[in-house]
Structure 1
Amino acid sequence: MQTPKAILFDLDGTLADTAPDLAAAVNVMRSNRQLAHAPYEHLRPFASAGARGLIGAGFNVTPDAPEYEVMRIEFLNQYASAIAIHSQLFEQIPTLLSGLDALQLPWGIVTNKAMRFTNALVPLLDLKQARCVISGDTTPHAKPHPAPLLEAARQLAIDAQHCWYVGDDLRDIQAAKAAGMLSIAAAWGYCGTTEPQHWEADVVLNTPQELLELVRTRA
């Protein structure tokens, strides 16, 4: 485990608890169809999977269904109209980021969220100090492809092998490994339908505080 020269984070489910607003967008769509609200506990694990995961969880509609694209656009527009009503940073994240700043260790964001949403949400969550923000459409590929992580390393002018990447989804771990970065599973996040212990991450952490402690031991 090399001493990190930068820490990169996924956004939804890692830095920020955005599931309430994502789930709300699904339930507005359900209300528009005279359907009862889906339980939040059912929708939350799919928050890191974006429109694909949430439409699947909320309507049992997959991307190959003929109605999917129309529903995807409806979902994204609804989410954009109420993007930060209940979203907030996870507990301990402000302390973690302040700790990284105190160590003069740069940190950035690499998310599959489209740029139009990322650019709107990051300032509202007081994440403006991120040294780079890479969205799902910043490069031609999204995670699990390594391109977004490699672009973050390029913008920071730091070799990818000296970066740690932290995420709450299997594709985050796959992307980190493909980019040659240390992969850290954020078990405090949404984590989908599989346990982080099965992702073959280099490290599995239960709280942001554990990450800060790990960084301090390597600093």
Structure 2
Amino acid sequence: MTAAVFPKAVLFDLDGTLLDSAPDFIATANSMRAARGMDALPLEQLRPVVSKGSRTMLATAFPQMAESERHALVPEFLDVYESLIGRHARLFDGIETLLQTLEQAGSTWGIVTNKPEYLARLILPQLGWEQRCAVLIGGDTLAERKPHPLPLQVAARQIKVAPGACVYVGDDERDVAAARAAGMPSVAALWGYRLDNDDPVAWQADLMCELPQQLWQVAAWPPTQRASA
């Protein structure tokens, strides 16, 4: 019987998977609301939609506005967020040890996110990840974004690992769908951001994981294709 091994490579979503960025986003939304004479929103009102992107967060922050008005606020939202990025965010408990565990096992890791690439790259030096993160693909890096498989396929190609020898870890249904379409095993990160009506079981990930600490154990990981020598 073949002994369990860590995946040759692991690709991660960023917001809601590696990074608890909701506090930065609520600060962004509340700055914009304050500028319009509106009261602050509580963190828990915005937190479930963080992984859905800026337009969904704006819909939560400004429900009274027409959709076209909210879409016009996206550049302002991104500018305000950029001005305070990383100020309140933190890694989820267990993530740093998980990354160290993968590195010690000889695994490569990288990030595939729908966050604009320039914003994701601002986070790397804050966390000391410039040399550790082997690849970073943002939502605007390529012609397609998740749930399309292209970002995962390109990331795997850049680190020279077959998609089937990688595992993708993310907290949103789009993450699992992108991995499936790329031929990549997936882990649903249940510690991330979800709406009350989200059903992770229906996503059909290869593994549903409650806490990053579970992935410290080599036996927890879904099987991958054997990487070529």
Contact 1:115/1:135 (8 A) holds in 2: yes
Aligned to 2:171: 168
Q: Is 1:202 the counterpart of 2:203 in the alignment?
A: no
**Residue of 92, 117, 120 corresponding to 1:115:** 117
Q: Is 1:105 the counterpart of 2:138 in the alignment?
A: no
Contact 1:61/1:68 (8 A) holds in 2: no
Contact 1:170/1:191 (8 A) holds in 2: no
Cα 1:61–1:132, aligned 2, differ >3 Å: closer, same or farther? farther
Structure 1 residues 2-11 or 106-115, which shifts more? 2-11
Letter in 1 for 2:122: A
**Residue of 10, 30, 34 corresponding to 2:33:** 30
Deviations 1:35-56 (A, max 9, x none): 1111110100111122112111
Aligned to 2:17: 14
Aligned to 1:47: 50
Letter in 1 for 2:99: L
Aligned equivalents of 2:153, 2:187: Cα separation in 1 = 16
Q: Which runs of 5+ in 2 are unaligned?
A: 225-229
Q: Is 1:65 the counterpart of 2:67 in the alignment?
A: yes
The count of residues paired between Structure 1 and Structure 2 equals: 218
Aligned equivalents of 1:37, 1:161: Cα separation in 2 = 45
Cα 1:2–1:179, aligned 2, differ >3 Å: closer, same or farther? farther
TM-score, scaled relative to structure 1: 0.93
Aligned to 2:216: 212
Deviations 1:2-21 (A, max 9, x none): 96221110000100111100
Question: How far does residue 27 in structure 1 lie from its aligned partner after superposition?
Answer: 0.8
Question: How far does residue 69 in structure 1 lie from its aligned partner after superposition?
Answer: 2.8
Contact 2:22/2:89 (8 A) holds in 1: yes
Please give the residue correspondences for 1:56-205 in structure 2 after superposition, counting only pairs within 5 Å.
Answer: 56-60=59-63, 65-128=67-130, 129-193=132-196, 194-205=198-209
Question: How far does residue 212 in structure 1 lie from its aligned partner after superposition?
Answer: 2.2
Letter in 2 for 1:56: A
Aligned equivalents of 2:5, 2:142: Cα separation in 1 = 27
Say which one has the larger Rg: 2
Matched residue of 1:66: which SS? helix
Contact 1:108/1:130 (8 A) holds in 2: yes
Q: Which runs of 5+ in 1 are unaligned?
A: none
Aligned equivalents of 1:130, 1:47: Cα separation in 2 = 23
Contact 1:23/1:47 (8 A) holds in 2: no
Letter in 2 for 1:207: L
Moved over 3 A (4+): 214-219
Letter in 1 for 2:118: R
Contact 1:4/1:215 (8 A) holds in 2: no
Aligned equivalents of 2:59, 2:160: Cα separation in 1 = 39
Question: How far does residue 61 in structure 1 lie from its aligned partner after superposition?
Answer: 6.6
Matched residue of 2:115: which SS? coil
